[in-house]
Structure 1
Amino acid sequence: MSDTGETVRQFVASFEQRDADLLGIFFDDAIVFSNHGDPEVRGKENVVQVWKRVFETFAQVRFETIHQAVNGAIVLAEQIHHLALPGRESATTPNMATYEVRNGRIVLWHDYTATASPPAQP
């Protein structure tokens, strides 16, 4: 996982496996994760625990990358998050994510999720 952009692509694709421990292989031990509006989470084990709870709650968790830009260690990713509670249809939410990757591991991850509905597509 030496290529920064490919590391993030593989990380995002791994969400469909619904395995928080699998996500953990992409994290540096000192990762800092922030989801806009929620308290910051520090440390690999703590971030893995966040995603274990998410996978326990939602029947579907899928992140779709629309655009991705890489500049050195920084990756910006425009994404659509697909989340569904058990027995419910998937809700789609626009998201912008920033990742910093060092030595093939994510050390910083900021998620900025849109809180309003996206504009209608022409």
Structure 2
Amino acid sequence: MASADNDKLIREFVGTFAKKDAAALAPFFAEDVVFVNYGEQPVRGRDAVVAVWAGVFGNFERVEFETLHQAVDGDVVLAEQVHGLSLPGGKLAPIRNMAVYEIAGGRIAAWRDYTDAAYAATLLQA
């Protein structure tokens, strides 16, 4: 895919989170996608990654992702993001995140999110 296509793919993917519908994320993933979230153990496979997000959407009242900057080099996309998350009745926590996406065949084959998990937890409890 061209860099412009990969840029658009990831922007559309990030926009999908506002729906809080884990099934809507599935078409973006390769069958054997590998997801590493905030330094946790890798989650392997489309169904497993969708299940992770179903749990996240069930736990958080609001999920609002915003891309601040995005750079594309062929099939690798780097995105500086703010993950806005709020627990039921809580304030929206603006968690800064760096995401790395590897694209294969027009789908996300690998996705790694990097953030300070301890700071994120502090923001969520504020």
TM-score (norm 1): 0.91
Q: How is 1:74-113 mapped onto 2 (pairs within 5 angstroms)? A: 74-113=76-115
Aligned equivalents of 1:106 and 1:37: distance in 2?
18
Q: Is the 8 A contact 2:99 2:112 kept in 1?
A: yes
Alignment match, 2:36: 34
Unmatched 5+ residue regions in structure 2?
121-126
TM-score (norm 2): 0.88
Task: Quote how far apart the aligned CAs of 1:87 are.
Answer: 1.1
Q: Which amino acid aligns with 2:95?
A: T
Unmatched 5+ residue regions in structure 1?
118-122
Note the alpha carbon deviations across 1:19-52, whole angstroms, 9 max, x for none: 0000111000000000132111000000000000
Aligned equivalents of 1:114 and 1:93: distance in 2?
9
Task: Quote how far apart the aligned CAs of 1:103 are.
Answer: 1.5
Q: How is 1:65-80 mapped onto 2 (pairs within 5 angstroms)? A: 65-80=67-82
Q: 1:57 aligns with which of 51, 56, 59?
A: 59
Alignment match, 1:19: 21
- Let me know the Cα RMSD of the aligned residues: 1.5
Aligned length: 117
Q: Give percent identity, aligned residues only.
A: 49
Q: Is the 8 A contact 2:78 2:98 kept in 1?
A: yes
Q: Which runs of 4+ in 1 moved over 6 A?
A: none
Q: Which amino acid aligns with 1:54?
A: V
Aligned equivalents of 2:27 and 2:42: distance in 1?
20
Q: Is 1:6 aligned to residue 8 of structure 2? A: yes
Aligned equivalents of 1:62 and 1:108: distance in 2?
21
